[in-house]
């Protein structure tokens, strides 16, 4: 196990704290096409961190992370996806993931692309990461994994037992999606969303919060040549986003009405932040907006073009793209020299103050992106710190 000590800036690790006080150094990414993807191949770099007044609430109470694992399972299951995969590559990948999680001091980690034939096998696949975190941080984590779906891919969580108590988990399985076109065949989530409910006691007082975290992974563009719409499965992702948001709005009505409990939605959209499926997920548009007389149409890149008055107030808000310091970075995933914001963390308006760096600095979110070590995944890791 590599030594996880020393300054991460000396090691060149890009762990970007969200500091809105970096006004002098933070500008939004430029050179974007209509989907927001950067046209130039830009290398992520560390963003300078400005001075921020101490948070009167004290240290953050819960650090929530999200990581696409890039087809991680047991060595045997991972090798079925890549016959050239070696035990050394497997060990290095686990070490790199542990380094990311340990340096970000994650308390809860939402995971995508766990390869397994069952939830139990998925939990077995995560045990080397748990063992690595124990060695690196002296902290004990427990795993919760949902049922695998398309391609044997499932979602899961790692939870630090010294910070949170698991109350419940729920897989959104066998959910029939709403249809964009009435005559099409019924479809399900390609990867089953997984909800985790935690009880978390504040570090500095007796206040205990129920924190619900819902993990999603929408269909990728892989095999997009088979999509008859020519949109690389964007309409399928739109249907998933609509179903997912509807479930959350019904199940977590209280989190949309008050700040008594906290709701966090995280995962991998497999689409950039401004395309139709992303807009439907946040609630500013709905699937019906793209049906007959709905007022919106799709461009060839899946970007929505809508007439005035169609857009509605958001229901979920990204604490990454709304953070100027974080959004000045190129994105979380690179493909052929272009970065996109595939990975995200979203909260309803009522939960947003818990993600602020300081209660007197509205909208300055304590969030960030981790790009190193590169061997951990082809996706960056994203995080948010919650405080109450």
Question: What is the band of 35 on the pLDDT scale with cuts at 50, 70, 90?
Answer: very low
Please name which of 180, 190, 296, 194 lies closest in space to residue 239, comparing C-alpha atoms. Answer: 180
Give pLDDT, residue 205. Answer: 87
Give pLDDT, residue 53. Answer: 72
Question: What is the band of 49 on the pLDDT scale with cuts at 50, 70, 90?
Answer: very low
Distances (CA, A) of 99 to 106, 112, 129: 11, 18, 10
Average pLDDT over residues 137-154: 96
Compare 77 and 30 and report the one with higher pLDDT.
77
Give pLDDT, residue 54. Answer: 82
pTM of the model: 0.87
Residue 321, SS3 per DSSP: coil
Top-confidence range, 8-12, 81-85, 191-195, 356-360: 191-195
Q: Give per-residue pLDDT as tens, 50-108.
A: 456 789 999 999 999 999 999 999 999 999 999 999 999 999 999 999 999 999 999 99
Q: Give per-residue pLDDT as tens, 184-203.
A: 999 999 999 999 999 999 99
pLDDT at position 347 over 80 = yes
Q: Tell me what percent of the residues of the chain surpass a pLDDT of 70.
A: 87
Cα gap 296→311, rounded to integer Å? 9
Question: What is the band of 299 on the pLDDT scale with cuts at 50, 70, 90?
Answer: very high
Average pLDDT over residues 130-138: 98
pLDDT at position 36 over 90 = no
Return the ∠ at Cα 133 (arms to 145 and 103), rounded to 5°.
Answer: 110
Cα gap 102→132, rounded to integer Å? 9
> Which letter, b or e, does each residue of 100-120 get, where b requires 16 or more Cβ atoms within 10 Å of its Cβ?
bbbbbbbbbbbbbbbbbeebe
Instruction: Please state, rounded to an integer, the average pLDDT across all residues of the chain.
Output: 89
Cα gap 84→199, rounded to integer Å? 42
pLDDT at position 378 over 60 = yes
* Residue 324: both structure tokens together: 């100027």
Give pLDDT, residue 355. Answer: 98
Give pLDDT, residue 15. Answer: 43
Handedness of CA 111, 242, 244, 177 (dihedral sign): negative
Residue 102, SS3 per DSSP: helix
Give pLDDT, residue 77. Answer: 94
pLDDT at position 13 over 50 = no
Distances (CA, A) of 103 to 7, 13, 63, 363: 10, 9, 12, 25
pLDDT at position 10 over 60 = no
Cα gap 61→388, rounded to integer Å? 7
Please give the CATH number for the structural domain made up of 58-386: 3.60.10.10
């Amino acid at each position: 196990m590599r030594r996880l000590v020393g300054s991460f800036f000396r090691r060149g690790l890009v762990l970007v704290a969200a500091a809105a006080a970096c006004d002098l150094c933070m500008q939004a990414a430029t050179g974007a096409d209509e989907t927001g993807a950067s046209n130039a191949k830009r290398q992520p770099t560390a963003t300078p961190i400005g001075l921020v007044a101490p948070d009167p609430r004290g240290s953050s109470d819960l650090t929530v992370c999200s990581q696409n694992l890039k087809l991680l399972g047991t060595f045997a299951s991972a090798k079925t996806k890549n016959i050239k995969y070696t035990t050394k590559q497997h060990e290095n990948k686990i070490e790199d993931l542990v380094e990311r999680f340990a340096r970000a001091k994650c308390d809860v980690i939402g995971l995508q692309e766990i390869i397994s034939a069952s939830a139990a096998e998925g939990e077995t696949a995560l045990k080397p990461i748990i063992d690595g975190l124990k060695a690196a941080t002296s902290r004990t984590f427990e795993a919760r994994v949902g049922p695998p779906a398309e391609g044997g891919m499932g979602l899961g969580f790692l939870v630090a037992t010294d910070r949170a108590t698991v109350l419940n988990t729920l897989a959104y399985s066998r959910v029939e999606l709403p249809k964009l076109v009435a005559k099409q065949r019924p479809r399900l989530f390609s990867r089953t969303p997984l909800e985790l409910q935690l009880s978390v006691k504040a570090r500095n007082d007796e206040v205990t919060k129920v924190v619900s975290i819902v993990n999603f992974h929408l269909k990728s563009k892989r095999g997009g040549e088979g999509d008859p719409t020519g949109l690389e499965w964007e309409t399928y992702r739109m249907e998933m986003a609509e179903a997912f948001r509807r479930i959350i709005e019904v199940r977590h009505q209280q989190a949309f009405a008050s700040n008594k409990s906290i709701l966090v939605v995280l995962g991998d959209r497999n689409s950039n932040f401004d395309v139709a499926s992303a807009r439907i997920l946040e609630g500013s548009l709905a699937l019906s907006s793209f049906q007959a007389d709905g007022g919106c149409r799709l461009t060839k890149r899946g970007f929505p073009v809508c007439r005035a008055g169609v857009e509605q107030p958001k229901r979920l808000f990204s604490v990454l793209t709304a953070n100027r310091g974080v959004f000045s970075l190129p994105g979380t995933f690179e493909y052929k020299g272009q970065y996109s914001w595939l990975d995200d963390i979203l909260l309803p308006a009522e939960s947003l103050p818990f993600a602020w760096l300081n209660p007197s600095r509205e909208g300055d979110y304590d969030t960030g992106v981790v790009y190193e070590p590169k061997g951990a995944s082809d996706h960056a890791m994203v995080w948010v710190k919650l405080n109450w």
